[in-house]
A and B are shown apart, each in its own frame.
Chain A
Amino acid sequence: MRSRAIVTVLGKDRVGIVAGVSRVLAENNVNIEDISQTIMQDFFTMIMLVTLDEDTISIPTLQDKLDSVAEELGVKVTVQHEDIFRYMHRL
């Protein structure tokens, strides 16, 4: 089952954040459909809309894999099914 999820990355800016997170996504066959990124006062925010095949990798498993790279990079990465945002902000 293909699902869309939102990956958010928050933390202090440094070299290699986009590369590190994208590498984990690519390794797990997760496709990035859209990226928005801002840096405000050294604070890095990246939001990605991704699609994944939940039969291959579930959101909790992807979260676990991203957690290990997030720790290396010193950022916080969260993966959430897109419906939570859709439900909260749309009728």
Chain B
Amino acid sequence: MLINPEEIKETIGMIQEQRLDIRTVTMGLSLRDCIDTDGDRLQHKIYRKITEAAGNLVGVAESLQKKYGIPIVNKRVAVSAISVIAETSDLEDYMPVAEVLDRAAREIGIDFIGGFSALVHKGETLGDTRLIDSIPRALSRTERLCSSVNVASSKSGINMNAVLKMAEAIKETAELTRDRDGIGCGKLVVFANIPEDNPFMAGAYHGFGEPDRVINVGISGPGVVRATLEKYPDADLMKVSEIIKQTAFKITRMGELIGRESAALLNATPGVVDLSLAPTPTPGDSVAQIIEVMGIERCGAPGSTAALALLNDAVKKGGAMATSSTGGLSGAFIPVSEDSAMAEAAAVGALSIEKLEAMTAVCSVGLDMIVIPGDTPVETIAGIIADQMAIAVINHKAAGVRLIPAPGKDAGESVIFGDLLGSAPVMPVSRFSSKDFVRRGGRIPAPLTSLNN
């Protein structure tokens, strides 16, 4: 037999026992050809473009899932930033565009649609302002729509006016989805250095340097890495890195296979494989547990940042061998509510927001799916965002902030969002104020890239 039976058993074990899956097949779709001065025509064109181009996305993903026997968990579409697409139109409020995106997503049966987005790292145009103003209502009245706003970049610095504005949008979104513990904020990311080809939500949007339609794939598989490492309790960290690299290679190859084939079937350009370890609330499918298997008692204890740095780097090294087309966020994700062991670590006091912030310096994403007290001041939220943006800007990496100030909830209580969004304890935030700093406004300049220290 050309394929070794042991290899076959390993693959099947990874899928059936360790929950290896393709997290998402995401079609990036340009809406530039939908721009129109008339708001009604704009909506009509958007609906038609999405339903025509991505109409078969779910069917194709399901057929590949059966052909290869590997689950494809989410099917998604990411469109061009709506702040640009709607700007020429006579719409003064972009709620109708949010609704048409949501309706198109429902019609074709996808899980999420991203791109209700704006890029304001240096300043706002009218379209950006209108989009940001409509985010809280858009997220409270739609089901599948995701929104992201880029407020900082390594080339331009941090737009602190936008940071504060986004903190206000987060508070308002939480308030408008108060009946579900502020879940609207789970679909809103504030970004620095936003990638143009990210298949993961809520930060996926279709960049302006991308082709008309493209297929980007997000892989998963923290459970596989954890299960493999469990077999080597005494390996030194060089060996641990080697094991993670080999596992990441195998996981990424799955993404490469599914990406190439789905792109061909959907008449789209093959895009990137996002080399990310994305946890789910299912026990075992956890990045925190990988850190714990390495020997950290609870994620967040001293050593966690080093362990995460090792993990993140090894995932990239193994993944980069498996595909020539890497992109998106690529790295380990550390969302709190979506990773049951991460949420437990926060609940027992092992993991704080400050430790998470340190960990974001060495991995992809950023402060992600963190529930904070509902009465957290806007300025404190802005301060937390600004800190994360600074880490990303200085380190030339992407980072997003997804905070959920759960209305009416205090630190120590917990919230349950369900499905992939999971549940989490409400984490305490600093009681000291950032107000006078964030209210100064203006822009923190771009960093110098020499004199590195």
Residues of B within 8 A of A8 (CB): 8-9, 12
Residues of B within 8 A of A81 (CB): 67-68
Taking CB as reference atom, which chain B residue is nearest A60? B66
Is the beta-carbon distance between B69 and A82 smaller than 8 angstroms?
A: no
Taking CB as reference atom, which chain B residue is nearest A34? B1
CA distance A79 to B1 in the complex (A): 16
What number of residue pairs across chains A and B have CB atoms under 8 A from each other? Answer: 63
Which interface residue of B3, B9, B16 has the most chain A CB atoms within 10 A? B3
Residues of A within 8 A of B2 (CB): 49
A78 at the interface (CB under 8 A from B): yes
Is the beta-carbon distance between B9 and A85 smaller than 8 angstroms?
A: no
Nearest CB of A to B105, in Å: 25
Residues of A within 8 A of B308 (CB): none
Residues of A within 8 A of B452 (CB): none
Residues of A within 8 A of B63 (CB): 60
Residues of A within 8 A of B257 (CB): 83-84, 87
Indicate whether A45 sits within 8 Å of B253 (C-beta atoms), given known contacts A6-B3, A89-B4: no
Per-residue contact bits, chain A 48-91, to B (CB 8 Å; 1 contact, 0 not): 01000000001110010000000000000011111111111100
Nearest CB of B to A63, in Å: 6
Is the beta-carbon distance between A83 and B7 smaller than 8 angstroms?
A: no
Is the beta-carbon distance between A84 and B69 smaller than 8 angstroms?
A: yes
In this complex, how many residues of chain A approach chain B with their Cβ under 8 Å: the count is: 24
Nearest CB of A to B242, in Å: 17
Other-chain contact of A6, B8, B16, B250 (Cβ < 8 Å): B8
A21 at the interface (CB under 8 A from B): no
Interface residue tally on B, bucketed by range: 20 to 34
B254 at the interface (CB under 8 A from A): yes
A47 at the interface (CB under 8 A from B): yes
Taking CB as reference atom, which chain B residue is nearest A84? B68
Per-residue contact bits, chain A 21-38, to B (CB 8 Å; 1 contact, 0 not): 000000000000010100
Residues of A within 8 A of B418 (CB): none
Per-residue contact bits, chain B 49-85, to A (CB 8 Å; 1 contact, 0 not): 0000000000000010011111000000000000000
Residues of B within 8 A of A89 (CB): 3-4, 7, 11, 250
CA distance A44 to B63 in the complex (A): 29
Is the beta-carbon distance between B67 and A82 smaller than 8 angstroms?
A: no
Residues of A within 8 A of B9 (CB): 8, 45, 47
Which interface residue of A8, A49, A89 has the most chain B CB atoms within 10 A? A89
Is the beta-carbon distance between B67 and A47 smaller than 8 angstroms?
A: no
Is the beta-carbon distance between A36 and B256 smaller than 8 angstroms?
A: no
Is the beta-carbon distance between B1 and A49 smaller than 8 angstroms?
A: yes
B5 at the interface (CB under 8 A from A): yes
Is the beta-carbon distance between A36 and B11 smaller than 8 angstroms?
A: no
Is the beta-carbon distance between A88 and B7 smaller than 8 angstroms?
A: yes
CA distance A59 to B254 in the complex (A): 18
Is the beta-carbon distance between B1 and A85 smaller than 8 angstroms?
A: no
Is the beta-carbon distance between B8 and A47 smaller than 8 angstroms?
A: yes
Taking CB as reference atom, which chain B residue is nearest A82? B3
Name B residues whose Cβ lies closer than 8 Å to a Cβ of A: 1-5, 7-9, 11-12, 16, 63, 66-70, 250, 253-254, 256-257
- Can you identify 29 A-B contacts, CB atoms within 8 angstroms? A6-B3, A8-B9, A10-B12, A36-B1, A36-B5, A47-B8, A47-B9, A49-B2, A60-B67, A63-B69, A78-B69, A79-B69, A80-B69, A81-B67, A83-B68, A84-B69, A84-B70, A84-B254, A85-B3, A86-B3, A87-B254, A87-B256, A87-B257, A88-B11, A88-B250, A88-B254, A89-B3, A89-B11, A89-B250
Name A residues whose Cβ lies closer than 8 Å to a Cβ of B: 6, 8, 10, 34, 36, 45, 47, 49, 58-60, 63, 78-89
Sorted nearest first, the 8 A-B pairs with minimum C-beta distance are: A60-B66, A80-B69, A84-B68, A87-B257, A34-B1, A87-B253, A89-B7, A85-B3
